[in-house]
Structures are given as structure tokens and as C-alpha cells.
Homo-oligomer: A and B are copies of this chain.
Amino acid sequence: MIFSSKAEYGVRLMVELGRQSPDQPTSLKAIADAEGLPLAYMEQVVARLRKADLVRSARGAHGGYWLSRPAEEIAMDEVVQALEGAIVPMECFTHDHTERVLCSHEPDAGRGCATKLLWTRVQGGIIRSLQMTTLADLVEFSRRGEREQTTPEPTAAVPTPAA
């Protein structure tokens, strides 16, 4: 398990918002019910997304959440970063105020940190994978899966039967 369930739940939440029209807010309860996830826990998850300004919110009756930007402009590294914190492959990797990533191991016994090269490459691999995927990709993927499930042959052109 590399990422925690906060990432899973949060990404699902974002996809769910991406499926809705951005005009009107969607309540967290509707999302939690649709995905079968605990509402109280989702509140904590969505709080992180709001603090990162990935979603906006309106309080009170008929309130809810919506994407702060179109899904095409949201790269998934932002989302995962907001949910999980800094993406570091190993504990000794710290993120100072700049974009520089460095290993906090003191160079013990006169030689550098042997594993630094490896974890740096892994980190790059992860972040690149996340950057090249947008929320719109996932929304489209989820719609495609849905079509395959409900209509095996592409005859009917009704994607969401408004359950």
C-alpha cells in the first residue's frame, strides 16, 4: 500500500464532482452515498481539497462542493499532493521551501547517501505519472467503464439514465 485511502477517497470525490455540471453545488452526502463511503470521514478528506483550492464550497441548504477549475486543467499530482502531503518515497526525503528535494541523512562515515539516487528516480517516476494524468482523463475513463457495464453494444446514446 503506497498511498493511503485518503487519496483513494479524495480522487473518487474529485471524479464525482467532475461528472457533475459545475454550475450547481453537489452535497457531500450525495457523493458519499454514491460511492458508499462514510460521510464524516469524507468531510476531512474534502477539507484538504478545499484548502488547496481544488474545490470550492457553499454552506447552508442546497450548498455543496464544485470544482474550482475545469477538470481538464487539474493535474492529478496536485490532487494527490493535497490529499497525501508531499510525495516522498522515503522518510529521509524532506521538502524544503523551494522545489528542491533532498535527503536528510547525514553523509555517514565519509560517504554519501547510497540510496538517494534510487529514491530520487522513483519520486520522479511517480510525480511524472501523476502530472500527465488530468482529472478529465479519469472522468472520461469512468464514463467509458459505465458504458461498457450498462450497454455492451454501443446502440443507445444515453450515458446517464438519471437514476
Could you list which residues of chain A lie within 8 angstroms of chain B, going by C-beta atoms? 1-3, 5, 7-8, 11-12, 15-16, 34-36, 76, 87-92, 107-119, 121-122, 124-126, 128-130, 132-133, 137-139, 141-146, 148-150, 163
Contacts and interface: CB of A to CB of B under 8 A. Distances in A.
Given A35-B108, A89-B2, A125-B126, A118 B149 contact: no
Given A12-B114, A15-B114, A90-B1, A34 B109 contact: yes
The interface residues of chain A, by DSSP majority, are classed as helix
A111 B146 contact: yes
Given A89-B2, A90-B1, A122-B129, A112 B148 contact: yes
This chain: copies in complex: 2
Nearest to A76: B118
Contacts of A7: 90
A12 B107 contact: no
Given A132-B121, A149-B107, A115 B2 contact: no
A125 B118 CA distance: 13
Contact of A125 (B109, B129, B139): B129
Most B CB contacts (10 A, CB to CB) among A7, A16, A129, A138 go to A129
B149 A2 contact: no
Nearest 7 A/B pairs, CB to CB:
A112-B145, A125-B129, A125-B125, A111-B146, A114-B142, A15-B114, A121-B129
Contact of A137 (B3, B16, B109, B117): B117
Contacts of A119: 3
